Amino acid sequence: METVSENICFGGVQGVYTHKSDACSCDMTFGLFLPEEAKDGPVPVLWYLSGLTCTHENAMTKAGAQGWAAEQGIALVFPDTSPRGEGVADDDAYDLGQGAGFYVNATQDPWAPHFRMWDYLADELPTLITRNFSVDEERQAITGHSMGGHGALTLAMGLPGRFRSVSAFAPISNPTQSDWGRKQLGAYLGNDEAKWVAHDASMLMREVGFDGPLLVDTGTADQFIDLLRPEALSEATIARRQQATLRMQPGYDHSYFFISTFMEDHVTFHAEALYSE
């Protein structure tokens, strides 16, 4: 692992690091904010998964999360959204290939050799971080935006017991029934739609739910709301009788102005779960 940069931030340190990934068979980059409390021992951690076209940097510089995390003594992890580099498959479209990993393990060519973001986030990166930084592997929470909200929800439900809480900003909630999903799941996983179910938050909610609190915010003026299908997640949550707060925020769109507005709410929500006994 190599240090790209480290900057003092709200009394803690915002770092950027690269490492060779066995899961993705390429170099990967991630951001990590450690609050001042990490100097004295392991701190709880909140994972933030970004959306289409993003890198580790977007949320790290635009979401305004570090200040709220510093108040709560929580670390923040900002992974990349896909493998990158020479020899890594890509596509001319913004919503497939590099920057659009969709947090799955691809099984189809040309994606399969590198696009293994599920393994990267479920196993490899958490192990790397807990071995090298002062974070608590038992106190974990996860959030994300858009494609990253999809990833946060599916990882939380697909890894029972891993995360104490999950939240999302404008998540792609029902990708098996959306153009933001069918294209990518078909390309990465093949045409057998039964294999897509594990990566559809609404279907997972109906089947397994989440053993903990859930918070989701979506803007009523989100320009992509028909692709996000928040109503599908809402219906599944009610059917499951899942502990959840699902909010439609009037007038807000899909941008980081929306995310930064409600970031304090999300960090506080996770802090309550991370510090509960």
Structure confidence at residue 181 (pLDDT): 96
Render 8-42 in DSSP notation, one character per residue.
EETTEEEEEEEEEETTTTEEEEEEEEE-GGGGTS-
What's the whole-number mean pLDDT along residues 139-152? 98
Three-state secondary-structure class, residue 126: helix
Structural domain count, the chain: 1
| Cα atoms in the 13 Å half-sphere on the side-chain side of 87 | 6
CATH number at residue 14: 3.40.50.1820
Dump pLDDT digits (tens) for 229-272: 999 999 999 999 999 999 999 999 999 999 999 999 999 999 99
Average pLDDT of the chain to the nearest whole number: 97
Per-residue pLDDT tens for 89-100?
999 999 999 999
Residues annotated as catalytic are 146, 222, 254
Q: pLDDT value at position 277?
A: 76
Question: Which residues partner with 34 through β-bridges?
Answer: 13
- 3-class DSSP assignment, residue 248: strand
Domain extent at residue 10: 2-275
